[in-house]
């Protein structure tokens, strides 16, 4: 383990949706729903964007992609250029989200969307990854793990489209620290 990884860690829980979170945290369904909805908005802003459905499906698998909302994090000039050529963008569906502990001190909590590939050829196959491609282990909701606080920091908006293979290629290279449960 790298020494710098353990100084500012945070315990997070991984959930597939607000219902999973509510079941694990009785009496906190409002917070779970808010965190889920915020993660969905964050996913629209930060998820990898693809110019074609085929490119997204090649990375994430059939049934795992959706058309991105018109202004989902794209810079206007890139948006206009890509829309002229294809009419829309494609992005992976949010597979789950990680959320800072509800029992933790302070009034707030943080959440980050997670993505997963159903394509066996993808490095992200069966794993939870964030918008930057960082791997958080098996795509199993209900787990609790320790991550660096930077994992919960806001991710930059996606301002360009990814070419086929561009997202998953980065997955194995991003995991610098080893975390329990990976």
More confident residue, 86 or 13: 13
More confident residue, 165 or 51: 51
Give domain limits for the chain. 3-174
Q: Which residue has the tokens 């500012």?
A: 8
Q: What is the pLDDT of residue 103?
A: 45
Confidence (pLDDT) at 165: 56
Predicted local distance difference test score (pLDDT) of residue 171: 39
pTM of the model: 0.75
* DSSP designation for 76: H
- Nearest CA among 135, 133, 137, 136 for reference residue 168: 133
SS (H, E, C) 112-172: EEEECECCCCCCCECEEECCCCCEEEECCCCCEEEEEHHHHCCCCCCCCECCCCCCHHHHH
Q: Where are the alpha helices (DSSP H) in 11-150?
A: 18-24, 29-46, 53-60, 76-86
Higher pLDDT, 8 or 3: 8
Average pLDDT, the chain: 79
Looking at residue 106, its pLDDT comes to 52
The predicted structure's pLDDT at residue 63: 95
- What is the per-residue pLDDT for 58? 95
Over residues 60-118, the pLDDT tens digits come to 999 999 998 875 454 544 544 444 444 589 999 999 999 986 444 555 678 999 999 99
């Amino acid at each position: 383990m790298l020494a710098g990884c353990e100084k500012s860690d945070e315990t997070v829980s991984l959930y597939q949706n607000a219902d999973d979170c509510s079941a694990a945290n009785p009496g906190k369904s409002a917070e779970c729903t808010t965190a889920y909805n915020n993660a969905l908005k964050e996913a629209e802003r930060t998820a990898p964007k693809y110019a074609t459905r085929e490119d997204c499906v090649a990375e994430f698998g059939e049934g795992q992609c959706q058309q991105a909302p018109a202004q989902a994090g794209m810079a206007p000039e890139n948006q206009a250029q890509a829309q002229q050529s294809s009419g829309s963008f494609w992005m992976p569906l949010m597979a789950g989200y990680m959320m800072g502990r509800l029992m933790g001190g302070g009034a707030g909590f943080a959440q980050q969307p997670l993505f997963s590939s159903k394509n066996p050829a993808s490095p992200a196959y069966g794993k939870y990854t964030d918008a930057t491609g960082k791997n958080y282990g098996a795509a199993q909701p209900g787990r609790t793990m320790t991550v660096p606080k930077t994992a919960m920091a806001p991710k930059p908006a996606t301002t360009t489209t990814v070419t086929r293979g561009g997202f998953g290629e980065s997955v194995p290279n991003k995991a610098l620290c080893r975390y329990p449960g990976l």
